[in-house]
Structure 1
Amino acid sequence: MSTPPAAAAKPAKPLTELTVTSREQLTPGMVRLRFSGDLASFATNTFTDRYVKLVFGDPAELERGGRPTLRTYTALDADVEAGTLAIDFVVHGAEGIAGPWAAAAQPGDTIVVRGPGGAYTPDPEADWHLLAGDEAAIPAIRQALAHLVEHAPHARGRVVLEVEGPDHEQPLPTPEHVEVTWLHRSDAATPGLADAVRALPWPEGRVQAFVHGEGEAVMRGVRPYLLAERRVPREDVSISAYWKKGRTEEAFREWKAAIAAEEGA
């Protein structure tokens, strides 16, 4: 009996060194850094949720099979020819690793990123779009809305975004028939993300959904509503947790793995 050939290992995503060119305070809790670098590896990646993993530590560890500290962020407005892109960072004071780094970054600082990755782009043929999340999802949702403005200006949809308060809202490029709802955690009367999504009207036709953010709200709240109750086809749903309240990214990965194991049981 012959032994089947081993599956080919996936090629490692490229490493790119980026140099900070400017910093902008978008809201009290979000900082935008602009970078320059050789973005050749971005040329064929056009997903609106395109992301990179920032390497905090020695990038050579990745090549040796090690695990330096990685943090995942949406790559915005990548211009391959100009060699420029931006990344928006949620900042909670001294909490975390990437946020404090971004808050203190100065032009000339460098960081290595791995990627890009990505999997979602809004389909102009969908009857309507649902986009929902919290601060961590705003960059990817902004990219998706900009794509719709350019490629499907008559698209219909609903956007639900949860932020700390009114001063944390941001201007978004929005097609005329896409309605944006902001939820404020500082207002005790405001529903949470999952409850707000459940309360939305549900138009007829094919919906394409992009829902990302805090794990409990997204995976325990919105995900079963869309897949089990509304029976949205899995291929029309991009839904995943970007982070988990009270957990580092390393512990968050363990939590995601446990969720996946539960679903596979």
Structure 2
Amino acid sequence: MHGLVVRKQQLTPSMVRIVLGGGGLDGFVMTEATDAYVNLAFAPEGAGYSGAFDCAQVRETRPREEWPARRRFTVRRWDEAERELTIDFVVHGDVGVAGRWAAAAQPGDVLVLEGPAGGYRPDPAAGWHLHVGDESALPAIAASLEALPAGARAVVRLVCDGPGHEVELPAAPGLDVAWLHRTGAASDVDLLLEALRGLDFPAGSTDAVHAFVHGEAEEIRAVRRHLLQRGVPRTAMSCSPYWRRTMTDEAWRRVKGDFVAAMEAEAS
């Protein structure tokens, strides 16, 4: 499956929105999950193929160094009527194959993808909702807020590099949204945890919360541990480390499974 770039928008200094369309998305069927993701494939520089390539065929016919890099990205929006797929990319200069592609993308460019899949959607029966994360979790958090029932209460805590890196989120009377800004200090890694420590949960509502906690690995692990200590059941939390500080994408992919297993094994 593949999409053609039809529009591109610079949302913030570090986030680029790519809208894909075209007949290559005819087989795309959106899941109900608000953390729906697609697996993207990027041909390495100098590879002897491009366009709407077949990943399986490339792996069968090309040396390993020419295999496409695979990256998982959240679906920000799927427009069924227009058959358009929106994906928001975090871009940090020329670091990371996906961000580098998004920064240079132009209308007509081809992006090969598989999916979607996903596992989280806000529980309409929950007493209240908690969404915690950073730029990498923004697409899923924004989609989740849009899916909340009218009148639902949600607390949102997001970390980013400053006011210019904030994005517009749905507004409703029951939403409590606060942005936390990094300063470049070592204490930035504790911004989300400290925000949760200072958050007063509604009285008697620990078991009523449905939480979505995604972002940098160690930060998410610390927040998850804190929520467990406060009595939030494991089953009421969706926690996933999307990336890890000081690690490249490829290095993180190699150890992520073990990290998640260790995190999930923690009782508190």
Quickly name the TM-score band, shorter chain normalised: 0.7 to 0.9
Which residue of 155, 160, 164 corresponds with 1:163?
A: 160
Deviation at 1:213, TM superposition (A): 0.4
Partners of 2:96 and 2:249 within 8 A in 1: no
Q: Does 1:193 align with 2:192?
A: yes
Quote the Cα distance in structure 2 between the aligned partners of 1:96 and 1:78.
25
Partners of 1:40 and 1:80 within 8 A in 2: no
Shift in CA distance, 62/192, structure 1 to aligned 2, threshold 3 Å:
farther
* Deviations, residues 201-243 of structure 1 (Å, cap 9, x unaligned): 1113200000100011002x1111123x123222211110111
Q: Does 1:30 align with 2:30?
A: no
SS in structure 2 at match of 1:252: helix
AA paired with 1:236?
A: A
Q: Does 1:175 align with 2:162?
A: no
Q: Does 1:20 align with 2:2?
A: no
| TM-score scaled by length of structure 2 | 0.84
Partners of 1:132 and 1:211 within 8 A in 2: yes
Quote the Cα distance in structure 2 between the aligned partners of 1:164 and 1:32.
18
Q: Does 1:43 align with 2:29?
A: yes
Shift in CA distance, 222/41, structure 1 to aligned 2, threshold 3 Å:
farther
Quote the Cα distance in structure 2 between the aligned partners of 1:261 and 1:27.
34
- The alignment of Structure 1 onto Structure 2 pairs a total of residues equal to 245
AA paired with 1:102?
A: A
SS in structure 2 at match of 1:46: coil
* Deviations, residues 80-116 of structure 1 (Å, cap 9, x unaligned): 3422011111111111111111011000000101110
Shift in CA distance, 36/199, structure 1 to aligned 2, threshold 3 Å:
same
Residue identity over aligned pairs, in percent, reads 45
Partner of 2:46: none
Partner of 2:42: 56
AA paired with 2:35?
A: D
* Deviations, residues 116-142 of structure 1 (Å, cap 9, x unaligned): 011111112110100010001111100
Matches within 5 A, 1:1-265: 16-37=1-22, 38-43=24-29, 45-57=31-43, 60-62=54-56, 68-148=68-148, 152-186=149-183, 192-203=191-202, 204-205=204-205, 206-219=208-221, 221-227=222-228, 229-262=229-262
AA paired with 2:137?
A: A
Deviation at 1:165, TM superposition (A): 0.5
Quote the Cα distance in structure 2 between the aligned partners of 1:202 and 1:95.
39
SS in structure 1 at match of 2:257: helix
Deviation at 1:44, TM superposition (A): 5.1
Quote the Cα distance in structure 1 between the aligned partners of 2:109 and 2:79.
20
Shift in CA distance, 107/96, structure 1 to aligned 2, threshold 3 Å:
same
Partners of 1:136 and 1:213 within 8 A in 2: yes
Runs of 4+ in 1 over 4 A off after TM superposition: 63-67, 187-191
Deviation at 1:73, TM superposition (A): 1.0
Deviation at 1:48, TM superposition (A): 0.7
Quote the Cα distance in structure 2 between the aligned partners of 1:82 and 1:94.
32
| TM-score scaled by length of structure 1 | 0.85
AA paired with 2:166?
A: E
- C-alpha RMSD of the superposition: 2.2
Deviation at 1:261, TM superposition (A): 4.6
Partners of 1:42 and 1:78 within 8 A in 2: no
* Deviations, residues 184-204 of structure 1 (Å, cap 9, x unaligned): 002758751122122211113
Unaligned runs of 5+ in 1: 1-15
SS in structure 2 at match of 1:192: helix
Unaligned runs of 5+ in 2: 44-48
SS in structure 2 at match of 1:20: strand
Quote the Cα distance in structure 1 between the aligned partners of 2:261 and 2:178.
34
Quote the Cα distance in structure 1 between the aligned partners of 2:256 and 2:5.
31
AA paired with 1:225?
A: H
